[in-house]
A and B are shown apart, each in its own frame.
Chain A
Amino acid sequence: KAGVTQTPRYLIKTRGQQVTLSCSPISGHRSVSWYQQTPGQGLQFLFEYFSETQRNKGNFPGRFSGRQFSNSRSEMNVSTLELGDSALYLCASSPTVSGANVLTFGAGSRLTVL
């Protein structure tokens, strides 16, 4: 069974640009969550999607957005990039929405903002 696939793995952007990150979940998984990992703030929850609907949202500005497609693939977008957006963005998938689920994480997309 293929794991969670995130693309691109690495990217460099400049301040003010926007970026779109993609996540393909494990086949059959309908929930996709996104996390931001930085040295200063650690791992922080961004949002969760299930069946194309946003179920939960973390405490991030509106520049951070996401969506989920009918095949469960998800994208997240960050507009008007700031230096502080430099981070590892991790996607995780699970079969359903339940606190008891085990999340399977992808390898992440490392974003550097110059």
Chain B
Amino acid sequence: AQSVTQLDSQVPVFEEAPVELRCNYSSSVSVYLFWYVQYPNQGLQLLLKYLSGSTLVKGINGFEAEFNKSQTSFHLRKPSVHISDTAEYFCAVSYMEYGNKLVFGAGTILRVKS
């Protein structure tokens, strides 16, 4: 079964500190991986994606993620967070044979404190 696990439901962090949001997926076939961000009362916005190639992918707003096939992980990182990064972050996976269907993790709420 396709599933995505986000290991932390909430991550509090002080401004300018580094952060890592963890994501693991279950699959034995090729997958495409995404991180989306959702601000209050808004839809989802793409942060970054891994389709193939380099396992380190860079996204918008200084975020990056590393694809680790052996550990089936796709953790999101940012070296220095800002108050404006406070939002909910979703890891998602898709499979070539299932078209655009995304399977989402439960989400991680990032709370940046001053």
Which residues of A are interface residues toward B (Cβ below 8 A)?
Answer: 4, 31, 33, 35, 42-45, 48, 50, 55-56, 58, 90, 92, 94, 97-108
Contacts of B41 in A (CB 8 A): 107
Contact of B46 with A by CB under 8 A: yes
14 A–B contacts from the bound complex (CB under 8 Å): A31-B99, A35-B102, A42-B106, A42-B107, A43-B92, A56-B101, A98-B96, A99-B31, A99-B94, A100-B96, A101-B94, A103-B100, A103-B102, A107-B43
Which residues of B are interface residues toward A (Cβ below 8 A)?
Answer: 31-32, 34, 36, 41-46, 49, 51, 90, 92, 94-107
Contacts of A55 in B (CB 8 A): 99
Q: Which of B32, B90, B99 contacts A56 (CB 8 A)?
A: B99
The answer to whether B90 touches A101 (Cβ under 8 A) is no
**Residue among B43, B94, B106 with max Cβ neighbours from chain A (10 Å):** B43
**Residue among A48, A50, A103, A107 with max Cβ neighbours from chain B (10 Å):** A103
Complex Cα–Cα for A99 and B36 (A)? 15
The answer to whether A99 touches B42 (Cβ under 8 A) is no
Q: A102-B49, A105-B43, A105-B45 are in contact. Are A43 and B90 (CB under 8 A)?
A: yes
